[in-house]
């Protein structure tokens, strides 16, 4: 039904994001959360979208003039903004656009005590077409069907998420470098929580003052090849965002 309804030429999977020093516990709570990294202009990631819901904020990826890709747990009465770097940039120039959401039919995360983020992916259909200029607003290039980034590939994550755990979302767009991590290494950490729809990535440094990761408010934002800017994943969930051994999950797009 998902494919027939949307006629999408892509399959939607999941991506896990880990720091080099892995840590996971069934007792840890999950959250949708960039820590470290640097402030950037939207021109560096013109396919990035900002999503506001009734309860929080998320990121998204511009899939077409009318569709935004994001995490399924982000789509509750959504409004979308694109083309800006600072959240206080003119809403008259960069207005919110209302949209309706289409969640992956296999997504099921109703038990908060035992959260399930498999198939955590959705599309937002905008009620108004985007004006794509290629500079501040652009359609994302996606990793192709049957294609995947090699282990160790330098990637970038971006968003307006919190700069520290339990902090509010950042007013400025940020980006951080991470790298692709071997799936089997990741599987040893996540065990049953890691599904075939997930792939791992993580920070370049295990030093607590150097590591860079996503944080609260970054969910649904892009994980992309730094060189080609092809998007491979969307931020899905994490355990902790400003500790020395965090772990995160993304939705993979191939």
Q: Decide if 73 is catalytic.
A: yes
Q: Which of 73, 104, 193, 240 is catalytic?
A: 73
Q: Which of 218, 219, 236, 242 is catalytic?
A: 219
Active site residue 135: no
Question: 31, 118, 120, 242: which one is catalytic?
Answer: 120
Catalytic residue flag (residue 28): no
Give 116's contacts (C-beta < 8 A, 6+ positions apart): 108, 109
**Catalytic residue ranges:** 73, 120, 219
């Amino acid at each position: 039904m998902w494919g027939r309804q949307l006629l999408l030429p892509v399959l939607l999977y999941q991506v896990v994001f880990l720091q080099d020093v892995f840590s996971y516990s069934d007792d840890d709570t999950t959250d949708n959360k960039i820590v470290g990294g640097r402030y950037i202009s939207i021109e560096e990631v013109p396919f990035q979208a900002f999503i506001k819901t009734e309860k929080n904020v998320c990121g998204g990826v511009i899939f077409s003039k009318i569709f935004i890709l994001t995490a399924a747990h982000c789509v509750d009465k959504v409004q979308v903004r694109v083309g800006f770097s600072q959240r206080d940039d003119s809403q008259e120039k960069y207005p919110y656009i209302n949209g309706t959401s289409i969640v992956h039919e296999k997504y099921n995360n109703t038990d908060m005590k035992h959260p399930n983020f498999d198939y955590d992916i959705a599309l937002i259909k905008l009620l108004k077409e985007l004006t794509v200029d290629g500079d501040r607003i652009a359609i994302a290039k996606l990793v192709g069907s049957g294609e995947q980034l090699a282990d160790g590939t330098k990637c970038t994550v971006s968003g307006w998420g919190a700069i520290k755990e339990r902090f509010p979302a950042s007013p400025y767009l940020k980006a951080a470098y991470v790298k692709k991590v071997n799936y089997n290494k990741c599987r040893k950490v996540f065990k049953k929580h890691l599904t075939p729809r997930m792939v791992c990535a993580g920070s370049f440094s295990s030093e607590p003052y150097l590591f860079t990761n996503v944080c609260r408010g970054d969910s649904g934002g892009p994980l992309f090849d730094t060189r080609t800017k092809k998007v491979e994943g969307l931020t899905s969930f994490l355990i902790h965002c400003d500790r020395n051994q965090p772990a995160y999950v993304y939705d993979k797009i191939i």
